[in-house]
Amino acid sequence: MIGILSFLGFTIMVAVISYFATRTTDEQTSDGYFLGGRSLTAGVIAGSLLLTNLSTEQIVGLNGSAYKDGLSVMAWETLAAIAMVVTAIFLLPRYLKGGLTTVPQFLADRFDVATKTITSVLFLTGYVVVLLPVILYSGSVAISGMFDVPTLLGVSDDTALVLCIWGIGVIGSIYAVFGGLKAVAVSDSINAVGLIVGGILIPVFGLMAIGDGSVLHGLHVLVDANPERFDSTGEPGQEVPFSTIFTGMMLIQLFYWGTNQQIIQRALGAKNLAEGQKGLLLASFLKILGPLILVLPGMIAYYYFDGGLASSDLAYPELVRAVLPKPLIGFFAAVLFGAILSSFNSVLNSSVTLFGIDVYKQHINKEASESTVVKYGKIFGVCLALAAMFIAPMIADAGSLFNYLQKINGIYSIPIFTIIAIGYLTKRVPAIAAKIGIVSGSILYIISEFLVSPRLRENAVEAAKASGITDSDALRLVEADAYPHYIHVMAILFVANMIIMLIIGKIFPRKEAFELKYTEQVSIEPYKYVKQVGAIICAIVIGIYIYFAQ
pLDDT in tens, 318-335: 888 788 887 787 777 777
CA–CA gap between residue 23 and residue 11 (Å, rounded): 19
Distance CA 228, CA 240 (A): 15
Phi-psi region of 193 (alpha: psi -120 to 50; beta: other; left: phi over 0): alpha
pLDDT score, position 181: 46
Q: pLDDT tens, 426-437?
A: 999 999 999 999
The pTM (predicted TM-score) of the whole model is 0.82
Whether the CA torsion 322, 325, 330, 335 is positive or negative: it is: negative
Q: What is the pLDDT of residue 33?
A: 45
Helix (H) or strand (E) holding 534: helix 530-548
| Domain range list for the chain | 2-404+527-548
141-170 pLDDT, tens digit per residue, is 777 777 778 888 888 878 888 898 888 888
Distance CA 507, CA 388 (A): 44
Do the beta carbons of residue 176 and residue 184 sit within 8 Å?
yes
Residues of the chain with pLDDT under 50: 25-36, 180-181
2-404+527-548: CATH homologous superfamily?
A: Sodium/glucose cotransporter (1.20.1730.10)
What is the reported pLDDT for 84? 96
Query: Which three-class secondary structure state does DSSP give residue 101?
Result: coil
Q: Would you say the C-alpha torsion 59, 61, 67, 70 has a positive or negative sign?
A: negative
Looking at residue 432, its pLDDT comes to 95
Contacts 24+ apart (CB under 8 A), 243-247: 243/488, 244/75, 244/485, 244/487, 244/488, 245/75, 245/79, 247/487, 247/488, 247/490, 247/491, 247/492
pLDDT for residue 481: 83
- Per-residue confidence (pLDDT) for residue 223, from 0 to 100: 93
Cα 167–Cα 169–Cα 170 angle in degrees, nearest 5? 70
Name the amino acid, one letter, at 39.
S
Query: What's residue 219's pLDDT?
Result: 94
